[in-house]
Amino acid sequence: MIDVEHLSKTFRVARKDPGFVGSLRSMFRRETAEVVAVRDVSFRVAEGEIVGLIGANGAGKTTLVKMLAGIVHPSGGRASVLGFDPWSRDDRFRSQIALVMGQKAQLWWDLPPADSLLLLKEIYRLPDAQYRETLDELTTVLGLGPEMRTPVRKLSLGQRMKAELVAALLHRPRVVFLDEPTIGLDVTAQRAVRDFLLRYRERHRPAIVLTSHSMDDIERLCARILILKDGGLVYDGGLAEVVARYGDDKVVTVALDPASAAPVDPRLLEGLGQVLESSAATVKLRIPRDRVAAAAGELLRRLPVADLLIEEVDIATIIERIFTERGKPGP
Amino acid sequence: MSLRLYLDAAATQARRSLTYRVDFWVEAAVVFFVSLGVAWSLWNAVFDATGAERIAGFDRRGMVLYVVTVLLAAKLVRGADLGDAAVSSDVFEGGLTRYLLYPASYRGLKYAEHVGGLVPSVLQLVLFGVPFLLLLATPDAPVSPASLAMGVVSLAVANLLCWLLLFPVHCVAFWAEGVWTLVLAVRFVGDLLGGVMIPLGAFPAWTRPWHEALPFRHLYAEPVETLLGRRDPAAWAGDLAAALGWCVALSLLGQVLFTVGRRRYAGPGI
């Protein structure tokens, strides 16, 4: 459904020195610099797949999504979405995709969602029966009722995002781009949006590309992730495999015997690994994977251990490490 | 493209523009009474100072009628050419993104919205302008059903022409960060050369070729003179054909600029 080959995007952006003199100088001579937003990215997404696109701020996630939705022209490479070149502005392409932006309202601000939906019905040329059926399905699942007749500007953020989802999915798109769909939502609303997306995927089997900084979104929704770093794709694979590939360490948590109330002598932990936490009750260390067995033995020998737990480093930490490490080779 | 889509887009915008009731009444009253007050004071002073009985073919009453009518008509012709619904705002603030996703013409939808946004101005014209027009009709301004009908057609074409004239200017936003001043400058030139500030007949004779060569007279002076019964059907038809010719030329220019400019669009604000 989505086929991307060597896609790149370079922006030319204005630069200005800070302060009044910089502002004055820029009135006469504007300096510009080229910024590579997306660099030689290739991947495929199949029908019914939800792919998480993750990366630090400025990694190129949103630019990539905007290119695939046909909004931004690439500087190089090619992409095919549903067999169409996204930048050809073919109506058959645009009537089969949707883009939901958590930070940018698509609905008309002054009007109730119901009014915007009537216009969308005409824009997408939806038959009356299909419009009513889809609208009923979406509003029921998302729990929207009187909100549909309330001006968007008076809705809460969660209600607005639900209404945005209804507007985006009204025409039953086969490819959905979701850019931070749960940003700013409370935990309950986040869960409702995630549950809805899973149900929608089960029923309609669209290809979904999701960008999010929420690891909860990624873990709940995506079996596969793409990690972008400085515009380049550094990982394309299963969420579980990223741990095996980049999770060089394990976390060992030791619950100490309550009878020994004294804090642990730091010298007892020397050479075992990175101490994450140390108190009278608990010691937590990050230990290289190949030394875990030996280190666990040492801990059992040196400390009054009541319990011992060995875990993988959590996925958010691994991904954060990928974002921040520089110079690590890509796949 | 479905006509129903554009009617719906216009109706949606009309509902939006009628959301703010207080704003509607304040603007209606302010525009009408302030325009009337200014025109009355200014042109009485001009007539008194010059001692002339007629200026640019108008007597005092006819001049006030022309100036107030042209100011009310200008609101209909321009619509919301600036503000958050303007094309340049869409480019600068990222509102264009929504339209690029739709399987519909951006220019078609925007123009339909532009027309829908005129509803408050039409209501204001009907509430204040038409009674005033009929009340002050003079031998200089023999308003008739025929002149009103021809004038309405001219105003509709003028509205389209004005939008198409400003569309390429708004497209400059693809290259420059702010075009608000540029749009204002074009509007000012249009007001001056289109007969909003002073009737075209008051300009020196040597400027006439310029008026003939440029599209601005089709925006305000000609529709208003038609409304006031000062143009015969033959002259009206010729003016209308010329205005439509400008529409075609400007539409092509706008299409080229939009197509080229869209390649630079970065979808800001996301």
Provide the 8-state DSSP code for A180: S
Is the pLDDT assigned to residue B81 strictly greater than 90?
no
How big is chain A by its Cα radius of gyration, in Å? 25
Average pLDDT over residues B228-247: 93
A-chain residues within 8 Å CB-CB of B101?
69-71, 94, 97-99
Q: How far apart are CA B251 and CA B247, in angstroms?
A: 6
Tokens of A218: 């990624």
Q: How far apart are CA A203 and CA A25, in angstroms?
A: 58
Tokens of A261: 């109330």
Q: How far apart are CA B81 and CA B99, in angstroms?
A: 18
Q: List the single residue in B4, B100, B104 with the smallest CB-CB distance to A70.
A: B100
Contact A209, A45 (CB under 8 A): yes
Q: How far apart are CA A71 and CA A63, in angstroms?
A: 9
Q: Which range has the top average pLDDT, A273-282, B21-30, B243-252?
A: B243-252
B257 touching A (Cβ < 8 Å):
no
B-chain residues within 8 Å CB-CB of A13?
none
Q: Report CB contact under 8 Å: B104, A123.
A: yes
Q: Which whole-number Å values give the CA distances from A161 to A158, A173, A196, in the listed order?
A: 5, 17, 12
Residue B75's pLDDT is 87
Average pLDDT over residues A180-194: 82
Q: How far apart are CA A93 and CA A166, in angstroms?
A: 19
Q: How far apart are CA B52 and CA B59, in angstroms?
A: 9
pTM of the entire predicted model: 0.82
Residue B35's pLDDT is 79
Is the pLDDT assigned to residue B1 strictly greater than 80?
no
Q: Report CB contact under 8 Å: B15, A115.
A: yes
Q: How far apart are CA A9 and CA A27, in angstroms?
A: 28
- What are the DSSP calls for A80-92, one per residue? EETTB-GGG--HH
At A145, is the pLDDT very low, low, confident or very high (cuts 50, 70, 90)?
Answer: confident
Q: How far apart are CA B54 and CA B58, in angstroms?
A: 5
Q: How far apart are CA B50 and CA B204, in angstroms?
A: 17
pLDDT in tens, A219-245: 888 989 999 988 999 889 888 787 777
Contact A42, A7 (CB under 8 A): yes
Q: Report CB contact under 8 Å: B2, A122.
A: yes
Q: Which whole-number Å values give the CA distances from A200 to A81, A204, A255, in the listed order?
A: 20, 6, 43
Is the pLDDT assigned to residue B4 strictly greater than 80?
yes
Q: List the single best residue of A27, A36, A61, A71 to mutate versus B (max B Cβ within 10 A).
A: A71
- Nearest C-alpha of chain A: how many angstroms from B270? 6
B97 touching A (Cβ < 8 Å):
yes
Contact A283, A269 (CB under 8 A): yes
**Closest-CA residue of chain B to A64:** B266
- Nearest C-alpha of chain A: how many angstroms from B120? 16
- Nearest C-alpha of chain B: how many angstroms from A139? 21
pLDDT in tens, A129-144: 999 999 998 888 888 8
Q: List the single residue in B5, B103, B109 with the smallest CB-CB distance to A95.
A: B103
Tokens of A127: 């038959």
Tokens of B71: 């100011």
- Percent of chain A predicted with pLDDT > 70: 98
Q: List the single residue in A72, A101, A125 with the smallest CB-CB distance to B266.
A: A72
Q: How far apart are CA A217 and CA A211, in angstroms?
A: 9
Q: List the single residue in A104, A111, A116 with the smallest CB-CB distance to B269.
A: A104
- Nearest C-alpha of chain B: how many angstroms from A24? 17
Tokens of A21: 């003199």
Amino acid present at A16: K
A-chain residues within 8 Å CB-CB of B2?
122, 125
Report residue B148: phi and psi, to 5°. Answer: -65, -45
pLDDT in tens, A83-103: 999 998 899 999 999 998 877
All residues at 6 or more sequence positions from B189 whose CB lies less than 8 Å from its CB, including other chains? B216
Closest listed residue to residue A194, CA positions, set A174, A213, A176, A218: A218
Q: How far apart are CA A21 and CA A39, in angstroms?
A: 35
Residue A29's pLDDT is 79
Collapse the DSSP code of B166 into the 3-class scheme (helix H, G, I; strand E, B; otherwise coil) and give the result: helix
pLDDT in tens, B191-237: 999 999 889 988 998 988 888 899 999 999 999 999 888 889 999 99
Strands in A2-15's sheet, in edge-to-edge order, are A31-45, A2-15, A76-81
A-chain residues within 8 Å CB-CB of B109?
123
Q: Report CB contact under 8 Å: A123, B100.
A: no
A-chain residues within 8 Å CB-CB of B5?
122-123, 125
Contact B165, B186 (CB under 8 A): yes
Q: Report CB contact under 8 Å: B8, A103.
A: no
Q: How far apart are CA B224 and CA B216, in angstroms?
A: 13
